[in-house]
Amino acid sequence: MTEANLSGGRILIIDDHEANVRLLEYILEANGLRNVRSTTDPREACAVCAEFQPDLILLDLHMPYLDGFAVLRQLMPHIKEHGYLPVLVLSADVTPDSKQKALSMGAKDFLNKPFDYVEVVLRVNNLLQTRLLYLRLQNYNEGLEKRVQERTQQLVEAQIEILHRLAAAAEYRDDATGEHTRRVGSLACRLALALGKSEAEADRLRLAAALHDLGKIGIPDQILLKHGSYTSEEFEVMKSHTTIGGEILGSSNLPVLQLARQIALSHHERWDGSGYPLGLAGERIPVEGRIVAIADVFDALTHERPYKRAWSFEDAVAEIRNLSGRQLDPQLVEVFLSMLNTGGLSRFSTQVQDEAETSGIIPAPGTEALK
């Protein structure tokens, strides 16, 4: 059935009198409505309705086996499923009680027997027109919902890419490849999953962890890229990248940025309380900060920087063990090392590189990661 032509409307007639059925078919066909199906056995109503998928049902009230009310009751799930499926009741019984009962059960209008030719045509056309308007509105809403979903996905992808570009802007200053943030996010995500976090939580951590060193934007090159040990004054400046990152990410309404701020401020806290900037200890350090701390240290050890060479996998594992209980959460360290033993560093590195080549940004986790 289309807006320009109602003749395609599917009409189902349920009436136990063959003569009534033939008369209605004649009236409808004379007015261009030829897509008609009928049954004189009300027990077949549900099966025929499910197969024919009508736009309008003409239903007699008084029939053997099942009366019109019983048929309406059986058709109710089908009617509700289609939102608006009009039922035109055929009956010589025009008492208020019958009308009220039929209307309360889903009927939309009535045709009195014996049929009046003009009245049949007018009421059928009115109900088909209403059905058509409903279908148009339904199609419009579905199209609108699809456009909203597409637009939402575009915004999600844009937000994810912006987050990655923001992280890369800081990371390129001391990582020529700009992959450190991606690797830390990937390792933190995998560790979160190993700890029993949901996929949405782990994906959100993947995004937020990539911004852990955003505050390096505010650190001078002569300190950030310095070879050798810092002076006490230089170290104080270097430590400020945590609070600078927190200030940049502060006051955001986006949950992933709120998490990123928490990580920026806490990923250099130490399990024994000797870290910075707040000197938090043990479980007072947010668990996300403790997760990212392990991923950050391990990746920094195993990859070259302008001021250091990469450590071997074995030496890095040994150092992580050495830092357990002092700098790093000992329970998380055990989970992390178990995860490495299961998969191996090379597998993680390969997967991160594949993700980078496929998307050009941090793998899109979907809308949930941004909530």
Lowest mean per-residue pLDDT among 27-41, 125-139, 176-190: 176-190
Predicted local confidence at residue 177, as pLDDT: 53
Q: Measure the CA dihedral 98/102/107/110, to 10°.
A: -10
pLDDT tens-place string over residues 45-90: 999 999 999 999 999 999 999 999 999 999 988 887 777 899 999 9
Separation of alpha carbons 212 and 107, rounded Å: 63
Predicted local confidence at residue 348, as pLDDT: 52
Of the chain, the percentage scoring pLDDT greater than 90 comes to 52
Q: Which domains does the chain have, with CATH numbers?
A: 6-145 (3.40.50.2300), 172-370 (1.10.3210.10)
Does 302 have pLDDT greater than 60?
Answer: yes
pTM over 0.85: no
Does 308 have pLDDT greater than 80?
Answer: no
Closest CA to 270 of 292, 288, 293, 287: 293
Q: H or E segment at 110?
A: strand 109-112
pLDDT-derived band at 176 (thresholds 50, 70, 90) equals: low
Whether 41 and 68 have beta carbons less than 8 Å apart is answered as no
Distances (CA, A) of 155 to 149, 158, 199, 302, 366: 10, 5, 20, 35, 11
Predicted local confidence at residue 138, as pLDDT: 84
Predicted local confidence at residue 363, as pLDDT: 36
